Amino acid sequence: MPELPEKPSLDGLEQKWSQRWERDQTFAFDRNKTREQIFSIDTPPPTVSGSLHMGSVFGYAQTDAIARYQRMRGMELFYPMGWDDNGLPTERRVQNFYGVRCDPSIPYDPDAPLPKGDGKGEQRPISRQAFIELCHKLTAEDERAFEELWRTLGLSVDWQLTYATIDDRSRLVAQRMFLRNLARGEAYATDAPTLWDVDFQSAVAQAELEDREQQAAYHRISFHGPNGPIFIETTRPELIPSCVALVANPDDARYQPLFGTTVRTPLFDVEVPVHPHALADPEKGSGIAMICTFGDTTDVTWWRELDLPVRTVIQRDGRFQVPQPDWLATGPWEELAGKTAKQAQKRIVELLAESGDLHGEPRPITHPVKFFEKGDRPLEIVTSRQWYIRNGGRDPELRAALLERGAQLRWHPPFMKVRYDHWVGGLNGDWLISRQRFFGVPIPVWYRIDEHGTVLHDEPLVPDEMRLPIDPSSDTPEGFEESQRGQPGGFVGDPDVMDTWATSSLSPQIATGWIDDPELFDKTFPMNLRPQGPEIIRTWLFSSIVRSHFEHDALPWSDTNINGWVLDPDRKKMSKSIGNVVTPMPLLEEFGADGIRYWACRGAPGTDTAADKGVMKVGRRLAIKVLNVSKFVLGLGAEEGAEITEPIDRAMLVQLNAMLGEATAAWEDFDYTRALDRIETFFWRFCDDYVELVKGRAYGDGPGAASAKATLATTLSTLQRALAPFLAFVAEEVWSWWQDGSIHRASWPEPVAIEGDPIVFDVAADAIAQIRKVKTEAKVSLRTPVERATITDTPERVAALRQAASDVREAGAITELLVDEGEPGVDIVLAAPVS
RNA sequence: GGGCGCUUAGCUCAGCUGGUCAGAGCGCCUCCCUUACAAGGAGGAUGCCGGGGGUUCGAGUCCCUCAGCGCCCACCA
């Protein structure tokens, strides 16, 4: 007889078992297993910037359920955890947390005291090195807090297998892969107009853009043609100094006479040509537009295709340059110099009104404007030298190959693939990976400086692969001395870092030891599963496929599971700005990890799910029921081994087999939601009906007792294991009462070898339900004896019920049970109430 | 402007290939201290399955269309 607790409880199970799992290394990866035995998961490295929210908990709990199922069905799990501590979110958090900002011109002083963490007031400038040290310090603290939360939630990752996207291995992999891409021509640098955030002062990539609806106004402005004014409508009159041409549709009869002629800009009187171009929309504004360098991405297209000059006036800080541009011989430049775009617009509109070139009142509109997704001001476009990786945006063959990769991937749910197809199909340029920031993986190249002091960007100096990772701002290229840095005839390091996606797109290679552990890599790559959120299909998922396609000519994983969005209880999207974000820790404390895991696993892949406490409560109750029924069944002396003789016991096991078949099939399709539904429903039927029906027989020492005990034991064992991927803690607890070893290393239940008529259980359950109903309606205790119960039903059901008559009689406290064929019905005569 | 998803009892959701598919849980109402569980248990009420058209002998289930919500995308004149 196993030792059972007097009063089982969920309290403390998280701590108890997470410590035990750590002590026993229950989830340690065994690298001696063969490739076929290993299931590898490309865990999303959460952004280490602040706190985890319910959306993270949601996705990670689902993945963990999948991991635990795979482990039980015999797979060895390669289940690492990464931290994405690289990049802008960390920089921003450090700035706010410590009240500092990075100023690379300040020399590093290793003895300088660390700033206090109040983050109030003016941001104090510190050196780049000191800034990076603070990034490491802060992320280390966050990572500890994150790990604590994940352990409480019960993620069965192998905590030996952690990585961070800024650590040595990640930098090594990112730089090595970059150099491979460079050598094969997949990475290149070029001077080009680039979307630019004036606050962060960094280029941003297409994948980091978002459109925001903004208030603006059409200003009707006259250009001066030889035969009178030409009216254009623009939302950005301040860019008139940048105007390089006008453009109209080639079919637009109104403007055809102007093509090939020139007009003069208002205020500055600069001569600009008028060109036809198909992209000009006759319906928009006045049908003729000014091309500026650069007001928007259409300007870039026109500029490139019409071969126009560059006349930039907005600097990288978003302000108009101070020196008067040489193409502006006349005009009120001093009125605009040094102003922000917004200030300049205000002034130039006044000037246009004074000169008579503004016609009518500005007409307010709202229109979409491109922003950096983490930025606060509209993006400008500046020309700068940047690094790119080819992604099919400018190459139809590569694009087709990457679309084919997407088709090879198994998507859960399948409809998410459409997002990938649309994104890849709609790319309009290569992937910009360089960032003018500090806390990231440096671009690992240098440039020669010729004897005149000119930097030779076209011939980057690359390090030997064996030297990686390097930092070109402190490491020296082969054949040079550090003293030659920045000198004529010397060298200079590339100042940029890679975008964080350029590193995290390599999470499969980082996690599996692509460079430093080839044996592990062979066994774990390509990986089995990439779980992630839908919003980063265009970034993380796509860029991972790009990198793997180039280097390995393969997908990085066979399957991807895209989780849904977590909505607040009112079905609104949770967001920090609305202030309706629910934090996980209080909920974990209120409902237990199993309650939260249950809630998460009720959310189907790709389906938005409300953070509903009601569902978490149901999960908690389920966990409590597992405790109680396990205690009771084991207390009855449940024991496997005896022959299953009773028809109702056989019926129970036949139904158990059927449920198990459905649940297992669902699991094999990553459909954890359906698996949970089937298992949970069956579990309650087992508790409410089967246990009630047979407990009397099991208590006794009659001939059927052993059969009941064996059936109870088999079913309990099966259900405990079937629930273990979801209710990881309580399943482990009840398993420990009567079994050796962790339930999470036990085998996924197999169907029992048994035959029988499943109806026997159904009719018996129906019969006691009827009897319970009569008693409840008579408002008497369920213990009230039944003097006589007459049950009539179809011949088939009557025959089945007769096989379970003794259990029904005992469970219903029935003195005389009559079963006959006839119209389905019951007639119950209750015993006189005991007064 | 385009795409994808969702819309089923007050709430959260199942309903997979059209024919016991009108369901579950929560909440609500009634009852029961039954020696596994009162942080229980038993029973009950509740829905023109978003609107409108089709297809079919038959439609939450397929087609068209409209509406609302969410997400993703879109060249900002």
CB of A378 within 7 Å of some strand B atom: yes
> According to the model, what pLDDT value does residue A118 have?
59
User: Nearest nucleotide to A612 by CA–C1' distance?
Assistant: B12
> What is the full DSSP assignment across A175-233?
HHHHHHHHHTTSEEEEEEEEEEETTTTEE--GGGEEEEEEEEEEEEEEEEETTEEEEEE
Residue A384, amino acid: S
CB of A674 within 7 Å of some strand B atom: yes
How is chain A split among helix, strand and coil, in percent rounded to 5? Answer: 40, 20, 40
Instruction: Answer for the pair A224, A243: CB distance below 8 angstroms, yes or no.
Output: no
CB of A828 within 7 Å of some strand B atom: no
CA to C1' distance (Å), from A300 to B35: 82
> According to the model, what pLDDT value does residue A834 have?
47
> According to the model, what pLDDT value does residue A570 have?
57
State phi, psi for A387 to the nearest 5 degrees: -95, 140
> According to the model, what pLDDT value does residue A703 have?
81
CB of A289 within 7 Å of some strand B atom: yes
Q: Which of residues 183-212 of A touch strand B (CB under 7 A)?
A: 195, 206-207, 209-211
CA to C1' distance (Å), from A416 to B52: 30
Instruction: Answer for the pair A525, A507: CB distance below 8 angstroms, yes or no.
Output: no
Residue nearest to nucleotide B15 (CA to C1'): A674
Q: Give helix A613-635 / helix A728-736 axis angle, nearest 10°.
A: 10
User: Nearest nucleotide to A610 by CA–C1' distance?
Assistant: B12
CB of A547 within 7 Å of some strand B atom: no
Q: Which of residues 584-603 of A touch strand B (CB under 7 A)?
A: 602
Q: Give helix A691-699 / helix A805-812 axis angle, nearest 10°.
A: 90
- Complex ipTM value: 0.93
Three-point CA angle A471, A475, A479, nearest 5°: 135
Residue nearest to nucleotide B72 (CA to C1'): A419
> According to the model, what pLDDT value does residue A124 have?
86
CB of A395 within 7 Å of some strand B atom: no
> What is the full DSSP assignment across A673-699?
HHHHHHHHHHHHHIIIIIHHHHHHHHH
User: Nearest nucleotide to A422 by CA–C1' distance?
Assistant: B73
CB of A604 within 7 Å of some strand B atom: yes
> According to the model, what pLDDT value does residue A89 have?
77
pLDDT along chain A (835 residues), means of 10: 79 94 97 97 87 87 96 97 84 85 78 66 79 84 91 96 90 96 95 88 85 86 92 93 93 92 94 91 87 89 87 90 91 92 93 93 85 87 92 91 94 92 89 87 95 92 94 92 94 92 95 96 97 92 97 97 80 52 84 94 90 90 93 90 92 93 92 93 92 90 89 95 96 95 96 92 90 83 85 90 92 88 83 57
Distance CA A759, CA A658 (A): 13
Distance CA A448, CA A743 (A): 62
Q: Which nucleotides of B are covered by protein (CB under 7 A)?
A: 2-6, 11-15, 24-26, 30-34, 36-37, 39-44, 69-77
> According to the model, what pLDDT value does residue A426 have?
87
User: Nearest nucleotide to A621 by CA–C1' distance?
Assistant: B39
